[in-house]
Structure 1
Protein backbone atom coordinates (compact mmCIF):
# COMPACT_ATOMS: atom_id res chain seq x y z
CA UNK A 1 0.00 0.00 0.00
CA UNK A 2 1.15 3.51 -0.72
CA UNK A 3 -0.13 6.92 0.24
CA UNK A 4 -1.33 9.57 -2.16
CA UNK A 5 -3.19 12.82 -1.75
CA UNK A 6 -6.47 13.36 -3.58
CA UNK A 7 -8.26 16.69 -3.13
CA UNK A 8 -6.45 17.15 0.16
CA UNK A 9 -7.37 13.68 1.43
CA UNK A 10 -4.82 11.04 2.32
CA UNK A 11 -5.76 7.83 0.57
CA UNK A 12 -4.09 4.48 1.15
CA UNK A 13 -3.66 2.05 -1.71
CA UNK A 14 -3.48 -1.67 -1.09
CA UNK A 15 -1.13 -4.22 -2.54
CA UNK A 16 -2.31 -5.54 -5.92
CA UNK A 17 -4.43 -8.67 -5.71
CA UNK A 18 -4.03 -11.33 -8.38
CA UNK A 19 -7.68 -12.24 -8.59
CA UNK A 20 -9.28 -11.14 -11.85
CA UNK A 21 -11.93 -13.75 -12.57
CA UNK A 22 -13.22 -12.77 -15.99
CA UNK A 23 -12.36 -10.54 -18.94
CA UNK A 24 -14.67 -10.41 -21.95
CA UNK A 25 -14.13 -9.08 -25.45
CA UNK A 26 -16.43 -6.12 -24.85
CA UNK A 27 -14.25 -5.01 -21.91
CA UNK A 28 -16.33 -6.42 -19.08
CA UNK A 29 -14.16 -7.34 -16.10
CA UNK A 30 -14.80 -9.20 -12.85
CA UNK A 31 -12.55 -9.80 -9.89
CA UNK A 32 -11.75 -9.22 -6.24
CA UNK A 33 -10.29 -5.94 -5.08
CA UNK A 34 -9.36 -7.45 -1.71
CA UNK A 35 -9.95 -10.55 0.36
CA UNK A 36 -10.87 -10.95 4.01
CA UNK A 37 -9.01 -12.37 6.97
CA UNK A 38 -6.36 -15.05 6.68
CA UNK A 39 -2.68 -14.33 6.99
CA UNK A 40 -1.50 -10.69 6.90
CA UNK A 41 -0.58 -9.48 3.45
CA UNK A 42 2.94 -8.43 2.52
CA UNK A 43 2.33 -5.08 4.22
CA UNK A 44 1.15 -6.59 7.50
CA UNK A 45 -2.56 -5.89 7.02
CA UNK A 46 -5.68 -7.97 7.45
CA UNK A 47 -9.01 -6.67 6.17
CA UNK A 48 -11.89 -7.70 8.40
CA UNK A 49 -15.17 -9.05 6.98
CA UNK A 50 -17.66 -6.20 6.81
CA UNK A 51 -14.97 -3.56 6.33
CA UNK A 52 -16.75 -2.19 3.25
CA UNK A 53 -20.35 -2.48 4.46
CA UNK A 54 -20.85 1.15 5.45
CA UNK A 55 -18.94 2.56 2.50
CA UNK A 56 -20.87 0.50 -0.04
CA UNK A 57 -24.12 1.56 1.63
CA UNK A 58 -23.01 5.20 1.38
CA UNK A 59 -22.26 4.76 -2.32
CA UNK A 60 -25.65 3.16 -2.89
CA UNK A 61 -27.47 5.97 -1.07
CA UNK A 62 -25.59 8.58 -3.09
CA UNK A 63 -26.04 6.75 -6.38
CA UNK A 64 -22.27 6.44 -6.84
CA UNK A 65 -19.68 3.71 -7.24
CA UNK A 66 -15.95 3.52 -6.51
CA UNK A 67 -14.00 4.90 -9.46
CA UNK A 68 -12.04 2.71 -11.88
CA UNK A 69 -8.56 4.12 -12.49
CA UNK A 70 -5.41 2.98 -14.22
CA UNK A 71 -2.60 2.53 -11.68
CA UNK A 72 -4.39 4.65 -9.03
CA UNK A 73 -4.08 7.73 -11.23
CA UNK A 74 -7.23 9.87 -10.95
CA UNK A 75 -6.22 11.56 -14.20
CA UNK A 76 -6.64 8.25 -16.01
CA UNK A 77 -10.13 6.80 -15.53
CA UNK A 78 -10.49 3.73 -17.76
CA UNK A 79 -14.09 2.70 -17.19
CA UNK A 80 -16.56 2.22 -14.39
CA UNK A 81 -17.50 -0.34 -11.79
CA UNK A 82 -21.14 -1.35 -12.09
CA UNK A 83 -21.27 -3.72 -9.13
CA UNK A 84 -19.40 -3.86 -5.85
CA UNK A 85 -20.36 -6.19 -3.03
CA UNK A 86 -18.94 -8.17 -0.16
CA UNK A 87 -19.18 -11.96 -0.16
CA UNK A 88 -17.56 -14.62 1.99
CA UNK A 89 -14.26 -14.18 0.18
CA UNK A 90 -13.91 -10.42 -0.01
CA UNK A 91 -14.76 -7.39 -2.13
CA UNK A 92 -16.17 -8.58 -5.46
CA UNK A 93 -16.36 -6.15 -8.36
CA UNK A 94 -17.84 -6.18 -11.83
CA UNK A 95 -17.00 -3.40 -14.23
CA UNK A 96 -16.80 -2.17 -17.79
CA UNK A 97 -13.62 -0.88 -19.41
CA UNK A 98 -14.34 2.13 -21.63
CA UNK A 99 -13.08 0.77 -24.94
CA UNK A 100 -13.31 4.23 -26.49
CA UNK A 101 -10.40 5.34 -24.29
CA UNK A 102 -6.88 4.49 -25.45
CA UNK A 103 -5.60 3.62 -21.97
CA UNK A 104 -8.57 1.30 -21.39
CA UNK A 105 -7.89 -0.51 -24.68
CA UNK A 106 -4.25 -0.86 -23.64
CA UNK A 107 -5.31 -2.19 -20.23
CA UNK A 108 -7.62 -4.68 -21.93
CA UNK A 109 -4.85 -5.98 -24.21
CA UNK A 110 -2.41 -6.26 -21.30
CA UNK A 111 -5.00 -8.11 -19.20
CA UNK A 112 -5.89 -10.39 -22.09
CA UNK A 113 -2.24 -11.29 -22.64
CA UNK A 114 -1.67 -11.85 -18.93
CA UNK A 115 0.97 -9.14 -18.81
CA UNK A 116 -0.89 -7.54 -15.90
CA UNK A 117 -3.52 -9.19 -13.74
CA UNK A 118 -3.96 -7.15 -10.59
CA UNK A 119 -6.64 -5.06 -8.92
CA UNK A 120 -5.82 -2.66 -6.09
CA UNK A 121 -8.12 -0.64 -3.85
CA UNK A 122 -7.79 3.01 -2.85
CA UNK A 123 -9.42 3.88 0.46
CA UNK A 124 -9.43 5.89 3.66
CA UNK A 125 -9.27 4.09 6.98
CA UNK A 126 -12.31 4.68 9.18
CA UNK A 127 -11.57 2.19 11.96
CA UNK A 128 -8.67 -0.16 12.68
CA UNK A 129 -6.83 -1.92 15.46
CA UNK A 130 -3.18 -2.85 15.82
CA UNK A 131 -1.74 -5.89 17.56
CA UNK A 132 0.97 -4.43 19.79
CA UNK A 133 3.07 -7.59 19.62
CA UNK A 134 2.89 -8.46 15.92
CA UNK A 135 2.18 -4.95 14.58
CA UNK A 136 -0.47 -6.48 12.31
CA UNK A 137 -3.12 -3.95 11.34
CA UNK A 138 -6.70 -5.18 11.16
CA UNK A 139 -8.66 -2.76 8.99
CA UNK A 140 -12.21 -2.83 10.34
CA UNK A 141 -13.97 -0.07 8.40
CA UNK A 142 -12.80 1.40 5.10
CA UNK A 143 -14.09 4.26 2.99
CA UNK A 144 -13.70 2.80 -0.51
CA UNK A 145 -12.73 5.49 -3.02
CA UNK A 146 -11.51 3.62 -6.10
CA UNK A 147 -10.36 0.28 -7.44
CA UNK A 148 -7.60 0.34 -10.03
CA UNK A 149 -6.29 -2.02 -12.64
CA UNK A 150 -2.58 -2.25 -11.84
CA UNK A 151 0.63 -3.95 -12.87
CA UNK A 152 2.44 -5.70 -10.05
CA UNK A 153 5.85 -4.50 -11.22
CA UNK A 154 4.83 -0.85 -10.95
CA UNK A 155 3.78 -1.31 -7.33
CA UNK A 156 6.25 -3.88 -6.00
CA UNK A 157 8.21 -1.26 -4.04
CA UNK A 158 5.16 0.42 -2.55
CA UNK A 159 4.96 0.39 1.23
CA UNK A 160 2.29 0.95 3.81
CA UNK A 161 4.78 2.48 6.22
CA UNK A 162 3.99 6.04 5.19
CA UNK A 163 0.28 5.94 5.95
CA UNK A 164 0.79 3.89 9.09
CA UNK A 165 3.56 6.09 10.42
CA UNK A 166 1.58 9.25 9.75
CA UNK A 167 -1.49 7.98 11.57
CA UNK A 168 0.55 6.64 14.48
CA UNK A 169 2.53 9.87 14.76
CA UNK A 170 -0.67 11.91 14.98
CA UNK A 171 -2.02 9.72 17.77
CA UNK A 172 1.26 9.79 19.68
CA UNK A 173 1.50 13.57 19.32
CA UNK A 174 -1.97 13.81 20.88
CA UNK A 175 -0.75 11.55 23.67
CA UNK A 176 2.22 13.84 24.31
CA UNK A 177 0.01 16.93 24.28
CA UNK A 178 -2.14 15.30 26.93
CA UNK A 179 0.95 15.01 29.13
CA UNK A 180 1.30 11.25 28.82
CA UNK A 181 4.63 9.48 28.58
CA UNK A 182 5.85 7.48 25.57
CA UNK A 183 7.53 4.12 25.77
CA UNK A 184 10.75 3.56 23.85
CA UNK A 185 8.86 1.86 21.03
CA UNK A 186 6.26 4.62 20.86
CA UNK A 187 8.93 7.31 20.84
CA UNK A 188 10.68 5.57 17.93
CA UNK A 189 7.41 5.24 16.00
CA UNK A 190 6.65 8.92 16.63
CA UNK A 191 9.98 10.06 15.19
CA UNK A 192 9.58 7.85 12.11
CA UNK A 193 6.16 9.34 11.51
CA UNK A 194 7.67 12.82 11.65
CA UNK A 195 10.10 12.01 8.87
CA UNK A 196 13.18 10.66 10.63
CA UNK A 197 14.86 7.67 9.03
CA UNK A 198 14.65 4.27 10.71
CA UNK A 199 18.25 4.49 11.87
CA UNK A 200 17.82 8.03 13.22
CA UNK A 201 14.66 7.12 15.11
CA UNK A 202 16.10 3.92 16.53
CA UNK A 203 19.30 5.67 17.62
CA UNK A 204 17.39 8.55 19.15
CA UNK A 205 15.09 6.26 21.09
CA UNK A 206 18.00 4.16 22.33
CA UNK A 207 20.17 7.07 23.39
CA UNK A 208 17.47 9.30 24.83
CA UNK A 209 15.12 6.87 26.49
CA UNK A 210 17.49 4.19 27.67
CA UNK A 211 19.86 6.85 28.85
CA UNK A 212 17.11 8.44 30.88
CA UNK A 213 16.01 5.09 32.28
CA UNK A 214 12.34 5.92 31.87
CA UNK A 215 9.83 6.87 29.19
CA UNK A 216 9.79 10.41 27.87
CA UNK A 217 7.23 12.98 28.88
CA UNK A 218 5.96 15.65 26.51
CA UNK A 219 8.55 18.32 27.39
CA UNK A 220 11.47 15.90 27.15
CA UNK A 221 10.34 14.45 23.84
CA UNK A 222 9.63 17.79 22.19
CA UNK A 223 12.90 19.29 23.43
CA UNK A 224 14.82 16.29 22.13
CA UNK A 225 13.08 16.51 18.76
CA UNK A 226 13.93 20.18 18.47
CA UNK A 227 17.55 19.45 19.27
CA UNK A 228 17.72 16.69 16.69
CA UNK A 229 16.38 18.94 13.99
CA UNK A 230 18.59 21.85 14.95
Structure 2
Protein backbone atom coordinates (compact mmCIF):
# COMPACT_ATOMS: atom_id res chain seq x y z
CA UNK A 1 0.00 0.00 0.00
CA UNK A 2 2.80 2.43 0.93
CA UNK A 3 4.48 1.84 -2.44
CA UNK A 4 1.23 2.47 -4.31
CA UNK A 5 0.62 5.74 -2.45
CA UNK A 6 4.22 6.86 -2.98
CA UNK A 7 3.91 6.26 -6.71
CA UNK A 8 0.55 8.06 -6.75
CA UNK A 9 2.09 11.11 -5.07
CA UNK A 10 4.98 11.20 -7.50
CA UNK A 11 2.61 11.05 -10.45
CA UNK A 12 0.19 13.64 -9.04
CA UNK A 13 2.30 16.77 -8.78
CA UNK A 14 0.34 19.98 -9.25
CA UNK A 15 -3.32 20.46 -9.90
CA UNK A 16 -5.35 17.40 -10.90
CA UNK A 17 -8.47 17.19 -13.02
CA UNK A 18 -11.44 14.84 -13.14
CA UNK A 19 -14.13 15.09 -15.78
CA UNK A 20 -17.66 13.73 -15.78
CA UNK A 21 -19.72 13.36 -18.94
CA UNK A 22 -23.44 13.97 -18.93
CA UNK A 23 -26.44 13.76 -21.19
CA UNK A 24 -28.61 16.78 -21.88
CA UNK A 25 -31.27 15.57 -19.46
CA UNK A 26 -28.72 15.47 -16.63
CA UNK A 27 -28.11 19.22 -16.59
CA UNK A 28 -30.59 22.02 -16.07
CA UNK A 29 -30.12 25.23 -18.03
CA UNK A 30 -32.32 28.27 -17.49
CA UNK A 31 -31.54 30.68 -20.30
CA UNK A 32 -33.54 33.50 -18.71
CA UNK A 33 -31.93 33.39 -15.27
CA UNK A 34 -28.66 32.12 -16.80
CA UNK A 35 -28.40 29.45 -14.09
CA UNK A 36 -26.98 26.01 -14.84
CA UNK A 37 -26.99 23.04 -12.50
CA UNK A 38 -25.68 19.50 -12.49
CA UNK A 39 -23.04 17.22 -11.02
CA UNK A 40 -19.31 17.92 -11.16
CA UNK A 41 -18.22 14.63 -9.55
CA UNK A 42 -19.73 11.26 -8.70
CA UNK A 43 -19.13 9.24 -5.53
CA UNK A 44 -18.34 5.56 -5.28
CA UNK A 45 -17.14 4.90 -8.84
CA UNK A 46 -13.57 3.96 -9.70
CA UNK A 47 -12.39 6.47 -12.31
CA UNK A 48 -9.59 6.40 -14.88
CA UNK A 49 -7.09 7.61 -12.27
CA UNK A 50 -7.93 4.61 -10.10
CA UNK A 51 -9.68 6.85 -7.53
CA UNK A 52 -12.92 6.33 -5.68
CA UNK A 53 -14.26 9.60 -4.30
CA UNK A 54 -16.05 9.20 -0.98
CA UNK A 55 -18.97 11.36 0.10
CA UNK A 56 -17.50 14.02 2.37
CA UNK A 57 -14.29 14.50 0.40
CA UNK A 58 -15.39 18.01 -0.65
CA UNK A 59 -16.95 19.04 2.67
CA UNK A 60 -13.99 20.98 4.05
CA UNK A 61 -13.51 22.92 0.83
CA UNK A 62 -17.22 23.73 0.71
CA UNK A 63 -17.20 24.87 4.33
CA UNK A 64 -14.08 27.01 3.95
CA UNK A 65 -14.54 28.40 0.41
CA UNK A 66 -17.99 27.41 -0.75
CA UNK A 67 -20.64 29.91 -1.92
CA UNK A 68 -21.99 30.38 1.63
CA UNK A 69 -18.55 30.98 3.15
CA UNK A 70 -17.00 34.36 3.95
CA UNK A 71 -13.90 33.62 1.90
CA UNK A 72 -12.74 36.04 -0.77
CA UNK A 73 -11.22 33.21 -2.80
CA UNK A 74 -14.33 31.09 -3.24
CA UNK A 75 -14.49 28.00 -5.42
CA UNK A 76 -15.06 29.39 -8.89
CA UNK A 77 -16.67 28.38 -12.17
CA UNK A 78 -14.21 28.56 -15.07
CA UNK A 79 -14.09 28.03 -18.79
CA UNK A 80 -11.79 25.12 -19.70
CA UNK A 81 -9.80 25.30 -16.42
CA UNK A 82 -8.45 28.72 -17.37
CA UNK A 83 -8.01 30.90 -14.28
CA UNK A 84 -8.03 33.96 -16.54
CA UNK A 85 -11.50 33.10 -17.83
CA UNK A 86 -14.01 32.92 -14.97
CA UNK A 87 -17.41 32.51 -16.54
CA UNK A 88 -19.83 32.42 -13.63
CA UNK A 89 -20.47 32.39 -9.91
CA UNK A 90 -21.20 29.17 -8.06
CA UNK A 91 -24.26 29.77 -5.88
CA UNK A 92 -24.94 26.23 -4.64
CA UNK A 93 -22.41 23.51 -3.87
CA UNK A 94 -23.48 20.45 -1.89
CA UNK A 95 -22.65 16.79 -1.53
CA UNK A 96 -25.54 14.36 -1.76
CA UNK A 97 -25.55 10.58 -2.03
CA UNK A 98 -24.83 10.76 -5.77
CA UNK A 99 -21.99 13.25 -5.88
CA UNK A 100 -21.01 16.91 -5.94
CA UNK A 101 -24.03 18.94 -7.03
CA UNK A 102 -23.59 22.55 -8.10
CA UNK A 103 -25.53 25.50 -9.42
CA UNK A 104 -23.84 28.45 -11.11
CA UNK A 105 -25.08 31.78 -12.42
CA UNK A 106 -23.40 32.48 -15.74
CA UNK A 107 -22.22 36.02 -16.38
CA UNK A 108 -23.61 38.12 -19.23
CA UNK A 109 -20.43 38.01 -21.27
CA UNK A 110 -19.62 36.50 -24.65
CA UNK A 111 -18.00 33.48 -23.06
CA UNK A 112 -21.02 32.99 -20.81
CA UNK A 113 -23.34 33.13 -23.82
CA UNK A 114 -21.16 30.55 -25.52
CA UNK A 115 -21.24 28.20 -22.54
CA UNK A 116 -25.03 28.33 -22.27
CA UNK A 117 -25.49 27.84 -26.01
CA UNK A 118 -23.06 24.92 -26.22
CA UNK A 119 -24.42 23.20 -23.14
CA UNK A 120 -27.91 23.49 -24.63
CA UNK A 121 -26.78 22.12 -27.98
CA UNK A 122 -24.75 19.34 -26.40
CA UNK A 123 -21.53 20.49 -28.06
CA UNK A 124 -20.08 20.63 -24.56
CA UNK A 125 -21.12 17.68 -22.42
CA UNK A 126 -18.55 17.50 -19.65
CA UNK A 127 -17.82 19.23 -16.37
CA UNK A 128 -14.44 18.87 -14.74
CA UNK A 129 -13.03 19.78 -11.33
CA UNK A 130 -9.62 21.21 -10.53
CA UNK A 131 -8.34 19.90 -7.20
CA UNK A 132 -5.37 18.60 -5.22
CA UNK A 133 -5.14 15.55 -2.98
CA UNK A 134 -4.92 15.68 0.82
CA UNK A 135 -2.54 12.74 1.12
CA UNK A 136 -3.18 11.76 4.71
CA UNK A 137 -6.82 11.34 3.67
CA UNK A 138 -6.08 8.93 0.83
CA UNK A 139 -5.92 5.14 1.33
CA UNK A 140 -5.24 2.29 -1.07
CA UNK A 141 -7.68 -0.62 -1.29
CA UNK A 142 -5.81 -3.64 -2.67
CA UNK A 143 -8.97 -5.66 -3.29
CA UNK A 144 -10.46 -2.94 -5.46
CA UNK A 145 -7.04 -1.81 -6.73
CA UNK A 146 -8.25 1.72 -6.08
CA UNK A 147 -7.33 4.79 -4.09
CA UNK A 148 -10.01 5.74 -1.57
CA UNK A 149 -10.11 9.52 -1.59
CA UNK A 150 -11.64 10.94 1.58
CA UNK A 151 -10.60 14.57 1.17
CA UNK A 152 -9.43 16.87 -1.60
CA UNK A 153 -8.89 20.62 -1.90
CA UNK A 154 -11.37 21.80 -4.52
CA UNK A 155 -10.38 24.91 -6.48
CA UNK A 156 -12.77 25.19 -9.39
CA UNK A 157 -15.42 23.63 -11.59
CA UNK A 158 -15.12 24.01 -15.35
CA UNK A 159 -17.16 23.34 -18.43
CA UNK A 160 -14.83 21.43 -20.76
CA UNK A 161 -14.94 19.98 -24.24
CA UNK A 162 -12.56 17.13 -23.37
CA UNK A 163 -11.58 16.06 -19.88
CA UNK A 164 -8.32 17.82 -19.10
CA UNK A 165 -5.12 16.05 -18.13
CA UNK A 166 -2.17 18.04 -16.84
CA UNK A 167 0.10 16.19 -19.25
CA UNK A 168 -1.65 17.43 -22.40
CA UNK A 169 -0.71 21.13 -22.29
CA UNK A 170 2.30 20.87 -24.59
CA UNK A 171 1.66 17.94 -26.90
CA UNK A 172 2.33 20.11 -29.95
CA UNK A 173 6.03 20.67 -29.19
CA UNK A 174 8.28 19.04 -31.75
CA UNK A 175 11.90 19.85 -30.84
CA UNK A 176 14.10 20.05 -27.76
CA UNK A 177 14.55 23.78 -28.41
CA UNK A 178 10.80 24.34 -28.16
CA UNK A 179 10.73 22.47 -24.86
CA UNK A 180 13.64 24.58 -23.56
CA UNK A 181 11.81 27.79 -24.49
CA UNK A 182 8.70 26.62 -22.65
CA UNK A 183 10.73 25.71 -19.56
CA UNK A 184 12.19 29.25 -19.45
CA UNK A 185 8.75 30.77 -19.99
CA UNK A 186 7.26 28.57 -17.26
CA UNK A 187 10.03 29.52 -14.82
CA UNK A 188 9.10 33.18 -15.29
CA UNK A 189 5.40 32.41 -14.76
CA UNK A 190 6.15 30.60 -11.50
CA UNK A 191 8.28 33.49 -10.19
CA UNK A 192 5.49 35.96 -10.92
CA UNK A 193 2.88 33.74 -9.27
CA UNK A 194 4.93 33.34 -6.08
CA UNK A 195 4.58 37.06 -5.36
CA UNK A 196 1.16 36.36 -3.80
CA UNK A 197 -0.18 33.46 -1.76
CA UNK A 198 -3.94 33.85 -1.98
CA UNK A 199 -5.93 30.76 -2.90
CA UNK A 200 -6.16 32.05 -6.45
CA UNK A 201 -2.38 32.28 -6.59
CA UNK A 202 -1.97 28.87 -5.05
CA UNK A 203 -4.31 27.54 -7.72
CA UNK A 204 -2.24 29.18 -10.44
CA UNK A 205 0.97 27.76 -8.97
CA UNK A 206 -0.44 24.25 -8.86
CA UNK A 207 -1.51 24.62 -12.46
CA UNK A 208 2.00 25.76 -13.40
CA UNK A 209 3.52 22.75 -11.71
CA UNK A 210 1.16 20.57 -13.71
CA UNK A 211 2.54 22.15 -16.86
CA UNK A 212 6.07 21.62 -15.55
CA UNK A 213 5.35 17.94 -15.04
CA UNK A 214 3.98 17.76 -18.57
CA UNK A 215 7.16 19.31 -19.97
CA UNK A 216 9.35 16.84 -18.12
CA UNK A 217 7.42 13.91 -19.60
CA UNK A 218 7.52 15.11 -23.19
CA UNK A 219 9.65 13.25 -25.72
CA UNK A 220 10.10 15.68 -28.62
CA UNK A 221 8.92 14.24 -31.90
CA UNK A 222 12.25 14.96 -33.56
CA UNK A 223 14.10 12.79 -31.02
CA UNK A 224 11.73 9.91 -31.73
CA UNK A 225 12.24 10.36 -35.47
CA UNK A 226 16.01 10.29 -35.01
CA UNK A 227 15.76 7.06 -33.01
CA UNK A 228 13.57 5.54 -35.67
CA UNK A 229 16.01 6.64 -38.39
CA UNK A 230 18.89 5.11 -36.44
CA UNK A 231 16.95 1.88 -35.95
CA UNK A 232 16.28 1.56 -39.66
CA UNK A 233 19.92 2.25 -40.48
CA UNK A 234 21.11 -0.37 -37.97
CA UNK A 235 18.79 -2.96 -39.43
CA UNK A 236 19.89 -2.12 -42.98
CA UNK A 237 23.51 -2.56 -41.89
CA UNK A 238 22.73 -5.97 -40.50
CA UNK A 239 23.10 -5.02 -36.84
CA UNK A 240 21.03 -6.89 -34.22
CA UNK A 241 17.42 -5.79 -34.12
CA UNK A 242 16.72 -3.13 -31.57
CA UNK A 243 13.57 -1.57 -30.17
CA UNK A 244 12.84 2.10 -29.81
CA UNK A 245 12.24 1.27 -26.17
CA UNK A 246 15.19 -1.07 -25.53
CA UNK A 247 16.45 1.15 -22.72
CA UNK A 248 13.09 1.40 -20.99
CA UNK A 249 12.78 -0.58 -17.79
CA UNK A 250 9.42 -1.61 -16.41
CA UNK A 251 8.72 -2.27 -12.78
TM range (shorter): 0.5 to 0.7
Count of matched residue positions in the alignment of Structure 1 and Structure 2: 159
User: How far does the alpha carbon of each residue in 1:165-201 deviate from its partner, in whole angstroms, 9 at most, with x for none?
Assistant: xxxxxxxxxxxxxxxxxxxxxxxxxxxxx8599x689
SS in 2 for 1:110: helix
Equivalent runs, 1:166-177 vs 2, <5 Å: none
Partner of 2:15: 11
Output the CA distance in 1 between the equivalents of 2:95 and 2:247: 40
Output the CA distance in 1 between the equivalents of 2:20 and 2:161: 8
Partner of 2:38: 31
Partner of 2:88: 79
Shift in alpha-carbon separation, 1:61–1:103, aligned structure 2, 3 A: closer
SS in 1 for 2:104: strand
1:131 paired with 2:141, answer: yes
TM-score, length basis structure 2: 0.56
Partner of 2:211: none
Whether the aligned pair in 2 keeps the contact of 1:66 and 1:144 (CA below 8 Å) is yes
Equivalent runs, 1:102-181 vs 2, <5 Å: 102-126=110-134, 127-132=137-142, 135-152=145-162, 155=163, 158=165
TM-score, length basis structure 1: 0.60
Whether the aligned pair in 2 keeps the contact of 1:43 and 1:159 (CA below 8 Å) is no
SS in 1 for 2:27: strand
Output the CA distance in 2 between the equivalents of 1:31 and 1:55: 18
Output the CA distance in 2 between the equivalents of 1:159 and 1:46: 19
Whether the aligned pair in 1 keeps the contact of 2:37 and 2:104 (CA below 8 Å) is yes
Output the CA distance in 1 between the equivalents of 2:63 and 2:30: 28
User: How far does the alpha carbon of each residue in 1:47-74 deviate from its partner, in whole angstroms, 9 at most, with x for none?
Assistant: 0111011111112443453111011111
Output the CA distance in 2 between the equivalents of 1:159 and 1:132: 26
Whether the aligned pair in 1 keeps the contact of 2:19 and 2:126 (CA below 8 Å) is no
Output the CA distance in 2 between the equivalents of 1:196 and 1:113: 35
1:91 paired with 2:100, answer: yes
| CA RMSD across the alignment | 2.9
Hey, which of these two has a bigger chunk of strand by percent? 1
Partner of 1:41: 47
Q: How far is 1:80 from its partner?
A: 0.9
Output the CA distance in 2 between the equivalents of 1:201 and 1:90: 44
Q: How far is 1:37 from its partner?
A: 0.4
User: How far does the alpha carbon of each residue in 1:61-96 deviate from its partner, in whole angstroms, 9 at most, with x for none?
Assistant: 434531110111111111111110111111110111
